Amino acid sequence: MDWLWQGIGEQATAACLVVQGGLLDIFGDGGSIVPAFCRLMGGAWLTMKLTIVSLLIGFGLAVPIALARLSQNPFINWPFLAYTFYFRGTPLLVQLFLIYYGSGQFRPELQEIGLWRGGFRDAYFCALFTLTLNTAAYTAEILRGGMLGVPSGEVEAARAYGMSGTMLYRRIIFPKAMRIALPAYSNEVVFLFQSTSLVSLVTLLDLMGVATDVIADTFRHFETLIFAGFVYLLLSGMIFAVFKRVERRLMRHLRRSGDEDVKKAPLPRGVPGSTRA
C-alpha cells in the first residue's frame, strides 16, 4: 500500500507547488526551504491518510462488534459493551496519551513480543491504533442502532421466504441498517476527521502539527491558524457533500419522480416532528 500513498503524495506535492505560486505570499517565509504552504498541504495529507485508514479498519472492526452487541449471550455482549462504553465515555486525548505514553510503562514486555520497535514506540502507529479503536466503538454503536431500526416485518418476510443466517443479514438487514445509519455515520466521519488534529499533540506533523511548527518559525499565529482552520473547513464540507450524494443515491427509492423540491431543499434530518424523514 505504501507505494500508492507515496505516489499520490508526490502528485499532491507537485500540484500544491503550482498552486502556491501567487496565492501565498503571506506564507512564503523567505528563510524556510519548503514554503509554509507546501508544508501545510503535506500536513493535510497526513490528516487525510490517518482519517481514511482508521475509518476503513474501524468500520471492519465495528461490524462484528455491533453483531456481538446484539447477542443475547451476556458473555459475548458485555465485553463489547464495556469496550464501547469506555471509548465513547472518555476523551480521545486521554486514549491517545494512554496508548502513546502509557505503552512506555510496559516497554520490556512489549519489546519481548516485538511490538515496541515499529509498534508502540512509533507515534504514527499509536495514533492510528487509537483513532481506529475510537471510531470502531462509535461506529459499532451507530451500526447497532441501524440494525435495531430494521422493521421486524421485513425480517419476518425474509424468514418467510426461507432466508436465514448469513443470507438474511447480507440481503435484508445490512442494506437496510446502512441506510438508517448513514446520516449518523457521516457525522462520525467528519468528527473523526476533525479529531485527527489531536495527533499533533503526540509529535505527529498532521495539518495542526505543521501549523504549530509554522507558528514556531514565523510567529504568525493568526494567519496560520486561520488558514489551517479554513483547510479543515473545506475538507469537512467536502466529506459532508460526498455523504449527501451517497445518501441521496441510497434513498432514491423514497423519492417520487419529479419531486424537485425534495432535491432542492431537503429538510434537516433528525428534526423531531418533521413529517418527511
Choose the stretch contacting another protein; rule: CB under 8 A; options: 6-14, 50-58, 115-123, 218-226. Answer: 218-226
Q: Check residue 79 for interaction with another protein (CB under 8 A).
A: no
Does position 120 bind another protein by CB under 8 A?
no
Name which of residues 171 to 210 contact another protein (CB under 8 A): 190, 194-195, 197-198, 200-201, 208
CA 215 – CA 222 distance, rounded (Å): 9
- CA atoms in the 13 A half-sphere facing the CB of 62: 29
Closer residue to another protein, CB minimum distance, 31 or 273: 273
Neighbouring C-beta atoms of residue 56, cutoff 10 Å? 12
DSSP assignment, residue 45?
A: H
| Separation CA 231–CA 223 (nearest Å) | 12
| CA gap 143, 67 in Å, rounded | 9
Cα separation, 53 vs 123, whole angstroms: 15
- Counting residues that bind another protein (by CB under 8 A) gives 42
Applying CB under 8 A, which of residues 85, 109, 171, 217 lies at the interface with another protein?
85
Asked if 273 interacts with another protein (CB under 8 A), we say yes
Q: What is the closest distance, in whole angstroms, from the C-beta atom of residue 134 to another protein in the complex?
A: 11
Residue 151 as a binder of another protein (CB under 8 A): the answer is no
CB-based contacts of 93, cutoff 8 Å, min separation 6:
198, 201
- Determine phi and psi for 162, rounding to 5 degrees: 90, 10
97 lies in the site for another protein, by CB under 8 A: yes
Q: Of these, 105, 166, 257, 275, which contacts another protein (CB under 8 A)?
A: 105
**Closest by Cα among 219, 49, 21, 191 to 211:** 219
From candidates 1, 4, 113, 271, binder to another protein by CB under 8 A: 271
Residues in touch with another protein (CB under 8 A): 85-86, 89-95, 97-98, 101-106, 190, 194-195, 197-198, 200-201, 208, 211, 221-222, 225-226, 228-229, 232-233, 236-237, 268, 270-274
